[in-house]
């Protein structure tokens, strides 16, 4: 038992000497020492010396917080020959001395409680060994658009085998249908063709078009994937999976007189611009937020404003004296490049009209009527062509992919990443990664960045060749008790449980590499068949009993 002063951080507020004396009186405790800093080099040496000289078989440190220091103390135990999972940490700084600074007596009593509980648990700790599993160094990239292609090329450059699966007949995705890419006005076809050529020529990339994933099972490092291809069913061993399945353009059936001829979408417009705009078109009206930011589809699709501005500029480039109006709610020209393009478009004479969604524009035979929300009057805009900016939406088969890969999707139908801020390219499930418009609408810069980023994330297990998992995971400790009800399987957020047929009937099986030890399964199992290493019922009960002593 080591009690840390943490300089004055603990000793300044708790009676540390009393804590040391108290620990001495607890059952199982044979050795107590106080350190000025248990984490300092001398403190660590004291712990190691204690283990070796006194033959300690459990170590408890009462100090700062496991958040920062548990790994250090565990490693130190291991270096002294003690299994690192026979270590227990008691938090008497962050959760005691720091929160009860003016109450030395009560705080010291609380610290005694915490120490007693820690010791009670430590006595029941079992040694654990880390779990190591080999990783197949082959990646599956689902989706052959610019995002998937970028990921595939990056991984192949790094030396890994890549299987690229595209459901359409050719690679390229959305870029096949675009004319120019903003804000640099790069030729989309030339760009994507160059990329497709690189993929096709790369010896480490195997491409399947008109193919889809039929079945997938396994876990990080060891997936068995069945591909349905033109040349029949292919069974492939895969280490990691990248979901780059993209999105699709919403078709505004029944909105603003959409007919695909005079009232078209931005995607139709890309085609017209590619073919060269009919010079008789003298006036173009573009309407933003068609089918988005409404009750049915509340999200802003991010890329439509920049697409509208880009295409408005291209109209002006092809027909300089055309009148181009953009009817908008908020111009989402975020960042440096977009705002620059927005400014440039105004300089070219493109006009922006603010409308209120409560008073939407009306599309008539040769004109669009709109209430200019800022000028406060109606406008009658001649319109040879009306272009509707519709959102990118999730693919119809996203749900199927979600079920196959055991990954979640959000309210809008896009895949839901591990953490919206900190893990944008990971899923909660290890070994599966996300990028591009399958996650959320992305422009070319963002799609390429995410493709590279997801490749980087996926390359971590590939480059290590194996995954090492902390053994604090769920274990089926009482197989006879398990009835194979599957409640835990349904609740597991990481896809780490499955029910298998065994000689004894249906039993749950823990995929140890996938388990993160959250404890949801063990705490919901009616039969107490599952248990979490280092957090067993007995250990927790011992802590509670010690507290109530």
Partner 1 sequence: MLDVGRHPNIELMTYSQIEELNGQVGDFKVKVRSKARYVNEDLCTACGTCSNYCPVPIEDAYDEGLRTTKAMHIYYQQAIPATYYVDEKACLFLTRRECKQCERVCQAKAIDFNQKDRIVELDVGAIILAVGYDVFDPAQITEYRYQEIPNVVTAMEFERLLSASGPTGGKLYRPSDLAAQAKTKAREEETQGFTVAKRLAFVQCVGSRDFRFYPFCSGYCCMHSIKEAIVAHEHEPETTSTIFGMDIRAVGKGFEEYKIRGGNRSNITYVRGRIAEITEGPNNNPVVTYEDTKERMIKKEDFDLVILASACVPTKGIVELAEILGIQLDPYNFVKTDPLSPVDTTRPGVFVCGCAESPMDIPESVVQASSAAERAAEITLQPLLEKGKAVA
Min CB(455)–partner 1 separation in Å: 5
Report how far residue 283's alpha carbon sits from residue 56's, in angstroms, rounded to the nearest whole number.
86
Sign of the four-CA dihedral 491, 492, 496, 502: negative
Identify which of residues 184 and 524 has a Cβ nearer to partner 1 in the complex: 184
Contacts of 316 (CB under 8 A, 6+ apart): 322, 324, 345, 348, 349, 350
Identify which of residues 257 and 360 has a Cβ nearer to partner 1 in the complex: 360
Which residues make beta-bridge pairs with 469?
131
Min CB(367)–partner 1 separation in Å: 24
- Under the binding rule (CB under 8 A), the answer on residue 39 touching partner 1 is yes
Min CB(517)–partner 1 separation in Å: 18
Task: Tell which one of 210, 343, 369, 464 touches partner 1 (CB under 8 A).
Answer: 343
Radius of gyration for the alpha carbons in the chain, expressed in angstroms and rounded: 31
8 A C-beta contact, residue 458 and residue 243:
no
Task: Tell which one of 167, 177, 293, 509 touches partner 1 (CB under 8 A).
Answer: 293
8 A C-beta contact, residue 220 and residue 430:
yes
Q: What is the 3-state secondary structure (H, E, C) of 452-501?
A: HHHHHHHHHHHHHCEEEECCCCEEECCCCCCCCCCHHHHHCCCCCEEEEE
Cα of 159 vs its chain's centroid, Å: 25
Q: End-to-end CA distance of the chain, in Å?
A: 20
- Under the binding rule (CB under 8 A), the answer on residue 351 touching partner 1 is no
Cα of 444 vs its chain's centroid, Å: 20
Q: What are phi and psi of 345, to 5 degrees?
A: -65, -35
- Under the binding rule (CB under 8 A), the answer on residue 67 touching partner 1 is yes
Instruction: Pick the piece of the chain touching partner 1 (CB under 8 A) from 33-41, 218-226, 477-485, 518-526.
Output: 33-41
Task: Tell which one of 334, 466, 538, 541 touches partner 1 (CB under 8 A).
Answer: 334
Task: Tell which one of 338, 474, 533, 534 touches partner 1 (CB under 8 A).
Answer: 338
Min CB(395)–partner 1 separation in Å: 17
Q: Which residues, 252 to 281, sit near partner 1 by CB under 8 A? A: none
Residue 165: exposure state from Cβ atoms within 10 A (0-12, 13-18, ≥19): buried
- Binding-site size for partner 1 (CB under 8 A) equals 71
- Under the binding rule (CB under 8 A), the answer on residue 379 touching partner 1 is no
Identify which of residues 71 and 127 has a Cβ nearer to partner 1 in the complex: 71
Residue among 288, 298, 261 nearest 360 (CA):
288
Identify which of residues 208 and 440 has a Cβ nearer to partner 1 in the complex: 440
DSSP 160-187: -EEEEE-SSSSTTGGGGG-SEETTTTEE
Find the angle CA(398)-CA(448)-CA(429) to the nearest 5 degrees: 45
Residue among 246, 311, 186 nearest 441 (CA):
246
Q: Which residues, 304 to 333, sit near partner 1 by CB under 8 A? A: 330-333
Q: Which residues, 422 to 441, sit near partner 1 by CB under 8 A? A: 422-425, 439-440
Identify which of residues 7 and 382 has a Cβ nearer to partner 1 in the complex: 7
Identify which of residues 57 and 456 has a Cβ nearer to partner 1 in the complex: 456
- Under the binding rule (CB under 8 A), the answer on residue 175 touching partner 1 is no
Q: Which residues, 480 to 509, sit near partner 1 by CB under 8 A? A: none
Instruction: Pick the piece of the chain touching partner 1 (CB under 8 A) from 47-55, 102-110, 167-175, 367-375.
Output: 367-375
Identify which of residues 225 and 394 has a Cβ nearer to partner 1 in the complex: 394
Sign of the four-CA dihedral 537, 133, 496, 529: negative
H or E stretch at 47: helix 41-54
Min CB(220)–partner 1 separation in Å: 17
- Under the binding rule (CB under 8 A), the answer on residue 103 touching partner 1 is no
Report how far residue 469's alpha carbon sits from residue 496's, in angstroms, rounded to the nearest whole number.
13
Min CB(197)–partner 1 separation in Å: 15
- Under the binding rule (CB under 8 A), the answer on residue 421 touching partner 1 is yes
Min CB(232)–partner 1 separation in Å: 30
Task: Tell which one of 263, 448, 476, 529 touches partner 1 (CB under 8 A).
Answer: 448
Task: Tell which one of 27, 190, 201, 336 touches partner 1 (CB under 8 A).
Answer: 336
Min CB(336)–partner 1 separation in Å: 4
Q: Which residues, 388 to 417, sit near partner 1 by CB under 8 A? A: 410, 414
């Amino acid at each position: 038992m080591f009690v840390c002063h943490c300089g004055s951080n603990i000793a300044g507020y708790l009676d540390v000497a009393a804590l040391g004396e108290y620990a001495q009186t607890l059952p199982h405790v044979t050795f107590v020492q106080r350190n000025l800093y248990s984490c300092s080099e001398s403190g660590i040496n004291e712990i190691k010396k204690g283990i070796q000289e006194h033959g300690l078989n459990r170590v408890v440190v009462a100090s700062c917080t496991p958040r920062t220091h548990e790994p250090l103390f565990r490693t130190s135990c291991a270096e002294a020959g003690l299994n690192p999972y026979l270590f227990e940490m008691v938090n008497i700084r962050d959760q005691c001395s720091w929160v009860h600074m003016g109450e030395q007596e009560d705080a010291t009593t609380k610290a005694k409680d915490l120490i007693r509980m820690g010791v009670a648990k430590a006595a029941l700790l079992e040694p654990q060994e880390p779990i190591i599993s080999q990783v197949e160094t082959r990646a599956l990239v689902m989706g052959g658009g610019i995002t998937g292609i970028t990921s595939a090329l990056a991984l192949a450059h790094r030396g890994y085998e890549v299987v690229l699966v595209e459901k359409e007949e050719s690679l390229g995705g959305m870029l096949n249908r675009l004319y120019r890419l903003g804000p640099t006005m790069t030729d989309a076809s030339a760009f994507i063709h160059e990329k497709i050529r690189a993929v096709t020529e790369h010896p480490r990339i195997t491409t399947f078009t008109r193919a889809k994933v039929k079945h997938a099972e396994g876990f990080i490092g060891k997936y068995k994937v069945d591909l349905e291809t033109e040349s029949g069913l292919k069974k492939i061993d895969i280490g990691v999976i990248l979901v780059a399945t993209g999105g699709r353009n919403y078709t505004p059936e029944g909105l603003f007189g959409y007919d695909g001829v005079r009232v078209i979408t931005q995607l139709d417009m890309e085609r017209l611009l590619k073919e060269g705009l009919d010079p008789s078109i003298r006036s173009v009206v573009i309407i933003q937020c068609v089918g988005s930011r409404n009750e049915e589809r509340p999200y802003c699709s991010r890329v439509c404003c920049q697409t509208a501005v880009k295409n408005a500029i291209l109209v002006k480039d092809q027909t300089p004296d055309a009148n181009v109006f953009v009817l908008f709610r908020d111009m989402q020209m975020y960042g440096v490049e977009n705002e620059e393009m927005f400014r440039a478009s105004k300089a070219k004479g493109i006009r922006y009209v603010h409308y209120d969604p409560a008073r939407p524009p009306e599309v008539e035979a040769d004109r669009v009527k709109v209430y200019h929300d800022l000028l406060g009057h109606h406008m009658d805009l001649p319109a040879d062509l009306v272009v509707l900016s519709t959102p990118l939406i999730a693919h119809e088969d996203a749900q199927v992919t979600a079920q196959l890969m055991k990954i979640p999707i959000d309210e809008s139908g896009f895949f839901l990443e591990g953490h919206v801020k900190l893990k944008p390219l990971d899923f909660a499930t290890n070994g599966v990664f996300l990028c591009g418009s399958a996650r959320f609408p992305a422009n070319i810069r963002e799609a390429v960045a995410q493709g590279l980023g997801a490749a980087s994330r996926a390359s971590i297990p590939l480059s290590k060749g194996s995954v090492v998992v902390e053994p604090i995971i769920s274990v089926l400790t009482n197989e006879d008790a398990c009835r194979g009800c599957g409640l835990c399987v349904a609740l597991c957020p990481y896809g780490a449980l499955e029910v298998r047929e065994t000689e004894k009937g249906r039993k749950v099986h823990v995929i140890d590499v996938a388990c993160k030890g959250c404890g949801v399964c063990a705490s919901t199992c009616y039969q107490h068949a599952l248990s979490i290493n280092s957090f067993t019922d007995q250990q927790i009960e011992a802590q509670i009993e010690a507290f109530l002593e």
